[in-house]
Amino acid sequence: MSSPTLNYLIIDDLEQPPEQRVGTLVRLCGRRDSPKTREGAIELVRRLWEEDLLPADRFANGIHQDSIMAVSEPTDTQNLLPVERGAQELCQLLNLQVTHQQTCQEARPLVSLVQAVLDNERSLTPEELELASDRKTGKLLQKVASSHAELSRFRDAMSGDAQLILEIIRAEMPGDVAIQSPDSVTNGATTTSK
């Protein structure tokens, strides 16, 4: 049996428009995407680049966590049962949802800055000016937009089979139906019939 693999795309320059971005595809042994496996992918690409095994013009802005994205391999879904396809979709949806929520959480400190710029009713404070001029702010806003877009696109493309997983889970949960003894219903009181 072959070892499970993870695929990562390390993007050269995040400042390029998405349709012009290029990167390096890396395959690692591993079962699931994690900060540890992402760091392993980054270290592998750094080593290859330093050893001149990748073009010298790559990674002009360095290699960092924002440069990496997990890429799922296309699978042959024709041979999968709907419930199996649903489980795959649900796992991917969960990953995308977590990524999006974590990105939004990171961006929360930018709310007043973004609101001030959008409303155009007041000047920015010195702190907001400093935050607005920081390159990380723009990258974080782009990250919020791309995680939202990726989540929306995936939801639109889902087959609907993920609902089967929810139905299976619900079927295994104890429901409202319960068998009780007559004594427990009447609290031990006796009833007389005429």
pLDDT digits (tens, 9 = 90+) for 159-181: 888 888 888 877 765 554 344 44
Rg for the chain (alpha carbons), in Å? 26
Q: What pLDDT, on a 0 to 100 scale, did the predictor assign at position 68?
A: 81
Task: Mention every residue, 6+ apart, whose C-beta is less than 8 A from residue 145.
Answer: none
- Sheet strand arrangement including 23-29: 23-29, 5-11, 68-71
Which residue is it, tokens 């299976």?
168
Whole-model pTM: value is 0.52
d(CA 10, CA 4): 20
Strand partners, 25: 9
Tens digits of pLDDT across the chain (194 residues): 456 778 878 887 777 777 677 777 778 877 778 888 888 888 888 888 777 777 777 777 777 777 787 776 555 556 778 888 888 888 888 888 988 999 999 999 999 999 999 999 899 999 999 999 998 999 999 989 988 998 999 899 998 888 888 888 777 655 543 444 444 444 444 444 44
